[in-house]
Chains A and B, each alone.
Chain A
């Protein structure tokens, strides 16, 4: 299957700083990527849909100015948590959709996740 990689896998930062998380599709082009947030012992909540070359679409209740998403190329989307606070500490997971037109119906492939801890 296709590979999606996130970096960093774990980051610790001070309150008030900004953190950037990268999501890369390593062996396929992904016009669409999704960013999820997962709190401990909870499910994944979709934060936003990222489309290459256009603005991201945010889910209701997600602050777009706080969670900046950039999808500048077909293999890279970034999530920047601006002015991070302890309540932003979470596990962030991206997924990329392969749009290569096969009968796989554009299956989603997930990254390994990035754990953010804000002190």
Chain B
């Protein structure tokens, strides 16, 4: 069956360090993968999209990698700040057309002073 796995345990890191979150998937052949941020009680907010033919994408302190052989995406936040504390969701296109996204369960990140 199709599955998207993100680490369900919260990730606690110190301010200034790099946070790395993992998204693994099985039985998908996504054309692209997206990362979203969700704060408690609010809707997700889009962060980055990476296509299957792209190895890496950057946006300010954020970096995403996409390895279609390993079926894995890594999401990095460099120089992390307490304001980065949130739940981060990865999402895959599971139709090969349109934008019908399937989401992982998310990983909660806590950045401590």
A is bound by B: no
Residues of A within 8 A of B (CB): none
Question: Which of B's residues lie within 8 Å of A, judged by CB?
Answer: none
